[in-house]
Amino acid sequence: MVDMELEIRHLKLVETIAAEGAMTRAAARLYMTQSALSHQLAGLEESIGISLFRRVPRGMILTPAGEKLLACARSVLPMVREALESVTAAESEAQCTLRISTECYTCYHWLPSRLKAFQASFPRVEVEIVAEATRRPIDALLAGELDLAIVSDLPAQAAITSCPLFEDEMVAILSPEHRLAHRRNLSPRDFVAERLITYSVPLQQLGVYRQFLHPAGVTPARVSRVDLTEAIIEMVKANLGIAILARWAISRHLNIATLKALPLGRRGFHRKWYAITMKSRRPSTHLRAFVELLAERGALV
């Protein structure tokens, strides 16, 4: 029986020499001198009493014993690397920040329930909601200001990767006293003479404008811009105009009949939501878990 301790460095030594086929190249890859590598190999072979390589003019050739040790190295080293990566990842995620933003203000209403579930599993990951990136989540992601953006308007960007999350419906909301409140749905032409109450962003940045109103050649007669969802709702209640919001964002108001919600067009207007990240950045464990949580709970929106 051989009395010695086989170390990870020995397996790496055998693997590297076998891969490179020459001591000079193997030494360079291991960041050591050729004499130091030769000394280590000689010490290993002496300790086990078996030659692992045959020295030939063209380089180094494995002996049968060397082949067996190489097979061991190829089996063990990947597991060691994986274990080290896992430990390193766990340590780096012990105290870190996940920066997220969405392209829709109303999303911040359902996000807290997802955050609560996420932080139950990752209590030491600080989630930072970058609200100032709401109007430009794609640009913020590309600039490295975000780790994750939640968008409904999927950009044609080769640099990003996307994961489908859920679908929601945008509806026109009106006061029950509005002249159009009795309609079954609203067409783009119904907005021609109306005041549209919306968020403080250019009209061209609104998906419902680009995909519903603009293709019909319609621009509302007046546009009032407000930053807060609740303020928009209160203005609609006061019959000061029409707003377009996600149905789930106003569900409690519909339940008590303080608002009327009408589909946009006969088929309604639906959005598909995506989580997008950068392809160039390897997703962390907590980032993958957060995206999976959003996808799993998407049906609850």
CATH number, span 8-92: 1.10.10.10
156-185 pLDDT, tens per residue? 777 888 889 888 899 999 999 999 999 999
The yes-or-no verdict on residue 1 having pLDDT over 50 is no
pLDDT at 299: 47
pLDDT at 276: 92
pLDDT classification of 108: cutoffs 50, 70, 90: low
Among candidate residues 197, 205, 190, the one with its CA nearest the CA of residue 243: 197
* Domain 94-167+272-300 superfamily per CATH: Periplasmic binding protein-like II (3.40.190.10)
- The answer to whether 8-92 and 168-270 have equal CATH topology is no
Mean per-residue pLDDT of the chain: 86
- Distance of alpha carbon 220 from alpha carbon 200, whole angstroms: 15
Domain map of the chain by residue range?
Answer: 8-92, 94-167+272-300, 168-270
* Domain 168-270 superfamily per CATH: Periplasmic binding protein-like II (3.40.190.10)
- Distance of alpha carbon 93 from alpha carbon 122, whole angstroms: 9
pLDDT at 65: 93
pLDDT average, residue stretch 75-89:
78
Q: Which pTM does this prediction carry? A: 0.62
118-160 pLDDT, tens per residue? 888 888 888 888 888 888 888 899 998 999 999 987 777 778 8
